[in-house]
Amino acid sequence: MIVAAAGPPLNLGQANVLALLGPLLFAPTPVRLRPAGSLRSLALMTIAAVLIGIVVGIAIGGAGLVFVEMTCPTPDARITPGCPGLWNEEQRDGLKRIVDFVHGNSDAKIAIQLGHAGAKGSTRVPWEGEDLPLEVGNWPLISASPQQYIDGVSDWSRAMTRDDMDRVRDDFVRSTRYAVEAGFDWLELPDWENSVLAYLRKGKRPGDEVVVAFNFPPCLREDYRIGVPHGGGYRELFNSDAALYGGSNAGNGGYLESIPEHHAGRPFHLKLTLPPLATLILKPQHGG
């Protein structure tokens, strides 16, 4: 749970100092920073109707963002048997009921995180022994190299083959499309190895959206690819590493063109320079 205080709207195009805990205004779209509710372990092989009440309750209770965590693109990508999944149309339709309910009963946004357990998978639900291997019903584990998540305790994973990599990529593309069809406002594909978080922030009007990227380590990342839904130019609305804020002034020069090649389930991608310890906000130019 992240708690943020309220304050006057802040226009990023005019501000010299960021009011970090105040609502932000991207063009005409206010982003209200209120408590953000996070829902884990939905056990959603099929969405139960009672979960709609739980999620909507979080949204109506004042959350600005409801985040469905670590949803897996295949059964063998789960950490535990209780992890959410999005690998078939039945799950997509169940999630769409939740998304529609949130949108119909609150002004909160709803996000979904897609992820793969890697070597951490095939373990028990927390209340039966967190991070311990399943006693029965285990599934094979894959990761970039053979490893044990917990030395001497976890099952060993095997190194991924080229075929494994292609399959996992295709699985994520399918789940991304399902998430878009379900109507989620944000889709997050975590890059924990690089400590980078990027997502698409939608406004109330069609096409009114921004791309947000956080680079948490103190290192510069060049040619970092982020999938985006639209072609054309993207204006860099905000760069926390700009000289204006006392930063090193690394960035993308205020503007860059998208590349018409698929990436992370999107038809286009941006090749960004991510400054160290920085946040970037970019807006497609078709929306003004």
* pLDDT confidence band for 223 (50 / 70 / 90): very high
Using alpha carbons, select from 57, 55, 65 the residue that is nearest to residue 107. Answer: 65
Q: What angle do CA 211, 215, 216 make, to 5 degrees?
A: 140
Numbered ranges of CATH 3.20.20.70 in the chain: 34-190
Using alpha carbons, select from 16, 210, 18 the residue that is nearest to residue 7. Answer: 18
Residue with tokens 């939905």: 42
CATH architecture of 194-288: Sandwich (2.60)
The number of angstroms, rounded, from the C-alpha of 50 to the middle of its chain's C-alpha atoms is 24
Sign of CA dihedral 8, 37, 54, 182: positive
Q: For residues 241 and 48, which has the higher predicted lDDT (pLDDT)?
A: 241
Work out the percent of the chain whose per-residue pLDDT is above 90: 44
| pLDDT-wise least confident of 52-61, 156-165, 267-276 | 52-61
The DSSP bridge pattern shows strands 278-284 and 233-239 to be antiparallel
Class of domain 34-190: alpha beta
All residues at 6 or more sequence positions from 31 whose CB lies less than 8 Å from its CB, including other chains? 23, 24, 25, 64, 201
Q: What is the pLDDT of residue 27?
A: 35
Q: What is the pLDDT of residues 112-144, one digit of tens each?
A: 888 999 999 999 988 899 899 999 999 999 998
Numbered ranges of CATH 2.60.40.1180 in the chain: 194-288
Name the packing angle between helices 162-182 and 89-105 (round to 10°).
Answer: 40
Q: For residues 201 and 123, which has the higher predicted lDDT (pLDDT)?
A: 123
Q: What is the pLDDT of residues 16-36, one digit of tens each?
A: 333 333 444 333 334 444 444
CA distances (Å), origin 20, targets 5, 10, 24, 240? 9, 9, 9, 11
Q: What is the pLDDT of residue 147?
A: 93
| pLDDT-wise least confident of 36-45, 90-99, 178-187, 237-246 | 36-45
Question: Which neighbouring-strand residues pair with 24?
Answer: 10, 31
